Structure 1
Amino acid sequence: MKKSSHNNIELLMFTCIGALLSVPFSTVQASESEIEKIEVLGRNMNHKLELERALNPGGVTLIDGDVLKERNISNLADALRYVPGVWATSSSGGDGLFFSSRGSNLDATSYDMNGIKLLQDGLSVTTADGNNHNRIIDPLAVRFASVAKGANALTYGASTLGGAINFVSPTALNSKPFSLYLNTGSHGLNQARVTAGAKFDNNLDAQVTVESKRRDGYRDHSEQERTGLYANVGWKLSDNLDTRFFYTYLDNDQELPGSLTQAELDEDPNQAAATAIGGNFQINVATHRIANKTNITIDKNSSLEFGLSLEKQTLYHPVVDKVLVDFDGPGPNEPVEVFSLLIDTDHQDVGAMARYNLKSGDHNLLFGFNWAENEVTGGNLRNDGGQRNGLTTIIENKAESLEVFAVDRWSLSEQLTLVYGLQAVNTDRDVRNTDVTSNELRNPSASYSSFNPRAGLIFDISSDVSFFGNVSKLFEAPTNFELEDDVRASSETLDAMEGVMVEIGTRGGHQFAYNSYVTWDISAYYASIQDEILSRDDPAASGNSLVTNIDDTVHAGIEALINGGVELNKVKGRLETTLSISINKFSFDDDPIYGNNDLPAAPGYVVHGELLYKSDSGFYLGPTFDIVDERYVDFANTTEVDSYSLLGFRAGYNTDDWQVFAEFKNLTDKAYVSNLSVLNIAEIDSRIFNSGEPRSVYVGFQIGF
């Protein structure tokens, strides 16, 4: 991003803040009657999630899993498309992706995924050390999702910069007894899901989903094969007590195409890197997870929920090809391999949670905890074309985390609600990497603790308007992967990231006439961060990242989600629009090396939108569009990725029992960069770019009864 672009973004941010403060007073307040009204204006969302969002003085976005099935969802990035503040892209269209919330994880974006806590039915899927390296939730296996950005995730116990996403599983109680979903299209995509469920007279219910996904990918060497099984059984023991058991099995094998140089990108953006083919890069993960969630209604003013989970994984991950060095010297010599990497590890994650909710007078209290323990055993090996070629490092890593939190939503008056709370976190890291040749042990090990307060206000100006604001502390300890990749390559440890975030915003809706409405959720935030953990690609071994703390950084932005509908009486339908806007200003803050440079990987602004005609009979069609600003690829801000705009189109037909859709992406076949690896200083031949999806078409069908 050039200096002029810098200034334009800052001007745009200030303009949007002014617009935010002058939004017409027509927002929905935090009462149950409002939620019913919003359901009329927009889509029928989970009632409990709507109430949680209404009582949160910050940015929260809700996702309806049924609505996702009206368009092509190939990966989680597709599902998060209209969530402002979240930047999510895939390197080849498969499940492997990079995602960032409010500027989290802006470093070696092709490798680890941290900074966002993922939960399934309130139980953590993110490991105890804070990483999402091997496991991303399948969005088509979700009934609802709540994306709480930044410190707005306190109600889930999280304090990370990116916040948390809680995915709610479908059950026989909120789904049809039988459904079949089929999706096919460009680049060899074929996926099918069959779901069957039943409710029994003895207060039992059960549901099972079997799924299969196959895709060739739009890039060479990016084939994916995934099979899965999702099952849950619920038992209502009494009017006040119910429990549910969950089981998940996933077997996902995915080839990785690797990153390209600029010259390779210009020649053929859909080719794979020669190193990826030679090293047969792939990530193969098999997962088993069992969990239980129990809900107790103690009385009309109090309730308790608690749960346990156990997840086991195997990871087979050839990720770095042979790095050869030709040593000079007298006489003939051959290049010697100095580095390659194949990760072969077993993972176990155990978790527990509890939430106690109490309504007492004007107070709505929430107390809870999350506990998690993670173990990783196995090793790093030399990679010989995707095959094991000798153990180099023995891995025995452990992590444990305890988050305890309390939140009070205190109704000071009919108009004003004070929301304040505190999170206490204590988390341990223990990395044990033993070099097989020298028997030398690297053992960075540390405990990290913090108290993270929060205070905010929700102000209902009228029966139709709410403004909110909060001041919150952020805290995020390093992951075990980051400790392993510390630039110092010793047993020293990184510091935890800490910061303070200030946020203001408004959300709500207004009905203009019968079936014509507008809803919005707008937030502006500013965070001052100390010791942010950033990493860059190791120039001596591409694919390996080096990590360090940065003294001071700034994360600021504006997030806006606007939905609207206008009744068209003459054609028996209406126009509906969705507009998601993210404006980002992430930078170093007077850094001794990088000054006030922008942080790489995040565009200055991102706009996703669509405009659909929806007939009263269930037919819909209309264009979609994406507008993405420039972004730097290096900390030195010497090289940037061009901005781009994409045009798409989608159409479909919905009835009570079946739905069909068609979606066209990138109609102009625009060549662009989806995501990238981050360097200190980019060179002309740096292999860091991943191309975006070319022109594509997908069709889908679902029947349920």
Structure 2
Amino acid sequence: MAQATAEIQRIPGGVEVVPDTQFKDGPANTIKDILGWVPGVLIQTRWGPDGRISIRGSGLSRSFGNRGINPYMDGIPINTADGLFDLFEIDPTAYRYVEVFKGANALRYGSNSLGGAINFVMPTGRDASPFEARFDAGSFGYLKTQTSSGGAYGPADYFITASAQREDKHSRTDTERLNANFGYQFSPDAETRFYVNAGRWRAEIPGEVTKTAALSNPRAANPDFLIQDQQRNIDTVRLANKTTLRFDNTTVDFGIFGLDRHVDHPIFQYLDFTAKDYGGFVRATDDRLIGGFRNRLITGVNLQNGTIDINQYINLPGAVKGPLASSNLWKSENTSIYGDNSFFVLPNVALVAGGLFMHAVRDQRDRFLTDGDQSGRRTWDNISPRVGLLWDVDPAWQVFGNISRSAEVPTFDVNTFATPASSNVDIQTATTYEIGTRGRRPDVTWDVSLYRARAFSDHVAS
């Protein structure tokens, strides 16, 4: 983790590394147990392990799902291709440390969203215990069990962890997760790693109530939600591979990933859909002397495509599928090319410049035409530049600043193609100005960022 901390602090902006010692000694129930004390990260739990998260104003309008932040696992994207992600998939007991890139400071992974990025880093068999287990219990029928195992055998290693979690009574959820990786070292400079992530989530949705009702009877559910027996039931399998090659001054990471998710979701209507995502990435980090000056360049390409095959039915009392009300096939295509260069004009002063080009497509094919054809297709292209400065005042004190531009493509629930207005939603962009300092002394540690972000074409759909 020391290497990860040293690398992330080469970024002239708000960043944080959270070691597992800060969250595994507690309940480790939700992502709030990991990030709840990280400055600038706002998290509100809902029911069970689900919740909402916002960094620097991202996704403030969301009442379901999360957007405006790019989540990664070991540098591999784990959001869906249209930009949404769910917090319940994150098992706090499965990670060795977590990297937080606030705002437009996640260019090293090709992310330039308003909220930044979060990278969850799993243990490997080379740094994991042979066997660990834990058991948690609490109020309202809360139970969680977790076991893990890791080990290395010559060039091969493995790590696997499984957990089961449930909450009973007035807000019932049931969650099982499996996270594993298997690595092979061809040489000290070449290795590959395979990842398996699977999850099962069952939740009964209590719904929204008035403030008066919440204060007088906080365990009460919305009566309409009870009649419709509103639920959210999700099964997910994700497979990925990442290969790392190290040369004299250059490290290259490349990989592929795929996702299969089925959602059975009786709410105001009965939603039944399957999401399939796939993609790949290549990223190179080059650190060398140019004309006697140190220069560090990170550059890469990301591809992420996916489909969501969604049918909506009338939700009859008791969560029973009624007549078909809507049927669509949603397709997402995303390509980004990025670079981030740090040129050290002095041994302790780096000028940072970079940018990202993004090409995105959202396509909707309407298969239920009794209410009119709501098919549509939108294409967006965007360039997001970034400049900054990083000054190492001394080995334990940094001063930094940057001006960055971020961009976010609308999700399908925003760009619905149902009306001319909702068929012409633009990219949400923002320009952020940031200055700050971080450091440590024998009796104090600090990390302070001051920023101002101005957003345009804000996506306010809930």
- TM-score scaled by length of structure 2: 0.95
Query: What secondary structure does 1:195 align onto?
Result: strand
Q: Is 1:101 equivalent to 2:55 in the alignment? A: yes
1:298-337 aligned within 5 A: 298-299=247-248, 301-320=249-268
2:376·2:423 contact (CA, 8 Å) conserved in 1?
yes
| 1:261-280 C-alpha deviation (Å, 9 max, x unpaired) | 12312320221111111111
Q: Please give the residue correspondences for 1:119-138 in structure 2 after superposition, counting only pairs within 5 Å.
A: 119-133=72-86, 136-138=89-91
> Which of these residues, 360, 366, 370, is aligned with residue 288 of structure 2?
360
In 2, Cα distance between equivalents of 1:407 and 1:88 = 29
Deviation at 1:483, TM superposition (A): 1.3
Aligned length: 457
Question: Does the 8 Å CA contact 1:444/1:493 hold for their aligned counterparts?
Answer: no
Say whether residues 1:373 and 2:305 are aligned partners: yes
Counterpart for residue 526 of structure 1 = 452
SS of the residue 1:494 aligns to: coil
- 1:675 aligns with none
- From 406, 413, 423, the counterpart of 1:474: 406
Partner deviation per Cα, 1:2-22 (whole Å, 9 max, x = no partner): xxxxxxxxxxxxxxxxxxxxx
Q: Deviations over 1:533-587 (max 9, x none)?
A: 112xxxxxxxxx5xxxxxxxxxxxxxxxxxxxxxxxxxxxxxxxxxxxxxxxxxx
On the 8 A contact 1:123/1:351 being kept in 2, the answer is no
* Runs (4+) off by over 6 Å: none
How far apart, CA to CA, are the structure 1 residues paired with 2:348 and 2:456?
36
Map of 1:276 onto structure 2: 225
Task: Say what the alpha-carbon RMSD is for the aligned residues.
Answer: 1.7
Q: Is the contact made by 2:128 and 2:151 (CA closer than 8 Å) also made in structure 1? A: no
- How do 1:124-163 and structure 2 match up within 5 A? 124-133=77-86, 136-163=89-116
Residue 435 of structure 1: CA displacement?
A: 3.2
Q: How far off is 1:83 after superposition? A: 1.4
Contact 2:30 2:90 in 1 (8 A): no
Does structure 2 retain, via aligned residues, the 8 Å contact 1:115–1:476? yes
Deviation of 1:281 after TM superposition, in Å, equals: 1.3
Q: Which residue number corresponds to residue 636 of structure 1?
A: none
The answer for the alignment partner of 2:277 in structure 1 is 349
Which residue pairs with 2:147 in the alignment?
194
Deviation at 1:436, TM superposition (A): 5.3
Q: Does structure 1 conserve the Cα–Cα contact (< 8 Å) formed by 2:42 and 2:55? A: yes
Answer whether contact 1:445 1:493 (CA < 8 A) is retained: no
CA contact (8 A) 1:234 1:243 kept: yes
Specify the code of the residue in structure 1 equivalent to 2:329.
E
Give distance in 1, aligned partners of 2:67 and 2:115.
9
Residue type at the aligned position of 1:259: E
Q: Per-residue CA shift, 1:573-621, capped at 9, x if unaligned?
A: xxxxxxxxxxxxxxxxxxxxxxxxxxxxxxxxxxxxxxxxxxxxxxxxx
Question: What residue identity is the alignment partner of 1:51?
Answer: A
Q: Distance in 1 between matches of 2:260 and 2:196?
A: 12
Deviation by residue 1:340-386 (Cα, 9 ceiling, x = unmatched): x1110001011211111111211011111211011001301111222
Give the corresponding residue for 2:368.
Answer: 435
1:87 corresponding residue in structure 2: 42
Question: Are 1:234 and 2:183 counterparts?
Answer: yes
| Structure 1 stretch displaced more, 311-320 or 71-80 | 71-80
Cα distance between partner residues in 1 of 2:421 and 2:14: 40
What is the CA distance between 1:205 and its match in structure 2? 0.8
Question: Which of the residues 415, 418, 424 maps onto 2:348?
Answer: 415
Q: Following TM superposition, by how much is the alpha carbon of 1:182 offset from its aligned partner in structure 2, in angstroms?
A: 1.2
CA displacement 1:457-510 (0-9 Å, x = unmatched): 011223432110000111111012211287x47772201111211000000100
1:559-638 equivalent positions in 2, closer than 5 A? none
Paired position in structure 1 for 2:159: 207
**Residues 361, 380 of structure 2: 8 Å contact kept:** yes
Partner residue of 1:58?
13
Deviations 1:40-92 (A, max 9, x none): xxxxxx12321222110000111112431111122112221011111111123
Cα deviation digits, residues 99-133 of structure 1 (max 9, x gap):
111011111x3223110001111111112221115
| Selected match of 1:260 from 188, 203, 209 | 209
Q: Residue deviations 1:666-688, cap 9 Å, x none?
A: xxxxxxxxxxxxxxxxxxxxxxx
Deviations 1:224-280 (A, max 9, x none): 111122221110111211101111111111111101012312320221111111111
* Matched letter for residue 475 of structure 1: A
Distance 1:424 1:164 in 2: 17
CA distance, structure 1, for counterparts of residue 357 and residue 14 of structure 2 = 22
Pair 1:493-2:418 in alignment: no
The alignment partner of 1:277 has SS state of helix
Indicate conservation of the 8 Å contact 2:51/2:87, yes or no: no
Q: Residues 247 and 291 of structure 1 are in contact (CA less than 8 Å); yes or no, is this contact kept in structure 2?
A: yes
Q: What secondary structure does 1:79 align onto?
A: helix
Structure 2, unaligned stretches of length 5 or more? none
Residue 134 of structure 1 deviates from its aligned partner by 8.0
Tell me the CA shift for residue 135 of structure 1: 6.2
Q: Is the 8 A contact 1:396 1:432 kept in 2?
A: yes
**Distance of 1:188 and 1:522 partners within structure 2:** 40
Counterpart mapping for 1:286-297 below 5 A: 286-297=235-246
Check 1:212–1:133 CA distance in 2 against 1; reply closer, same or farther (3 A cut).
closer
Contact 2:232–2:263 (CA under 8 A) maintained in structure 1: yes
Superposition map of 1:455-474 within 5 A = 455-474=387-406
Between the aligned partners of 1:377 and 1:355, the Cα distance in structure 2 is 31
The alpha carbon displacement at 1:313 in A equals 0.3
Q: Is the 8 A contact 1:445 1:491 kept in 2?
A: no
The answer on whether the counterparts of 2:417 and 2:423 sit within 8 Å (CA) in structure 1 is no
Who is 1:72 aligned against? 27
Q: Is the 8 A contact 1:431 1:483 kept in 2?
A: no
Q: Residues 176-214 of structure 1: CA distance to partner in whole angstroms, max 9, x if unpaired?
A: 11111111111111111111122113x111122121111
Asked which structure has the greater CA Rg, the reply is: 1
SS at 2:115 equivalent: coil
Alpha-carbon distance in 2 for matches of 1:135, 1:270: 21
Name 1:576's counterpart in structure 2. Answer: none
Q: Is 1:118 equivalent to 2:71 in the alignment?
A: yes
> What is the CA distance between 1:452 and its match in structure 2?
0.8
Match of residue 389 from structure 1: 322
User: CA–CA distance in 2 between the matches of 1:374 and 1:88?
Assistant: 28
Encode CA deviations 1:163-182: one digit per residue, 9 max, x unaligned.
Answer: 11111112111111111111
Structure 2 Cα separation of the partners of residues 118 and 175 of structure 1:
23
Q: Deviations over 1:140-162 (max 9, x none)?
A: 21111111011101111111110
Letter in 2 for 1:105: G
Counterparts of 1:57 and 1:393, CA distance in 2: 47
For residues 379 and 135 of structure 1, do their structure 2 counterparts lie closer, same or farther at Cα, with a shift above 3 Å needed?
A: farther
Aligned-partner residue type, residue 101 of structure 1: I
Separation in structure 2 between the aligned mates of residue 388 and residue 422 of structure 1, nearest angstrom: 48
Distance 1:86 1:491, change over 3 A: closer
Offset, 1:138: 2.0
For 1:342, the aligned partner's letter is Y
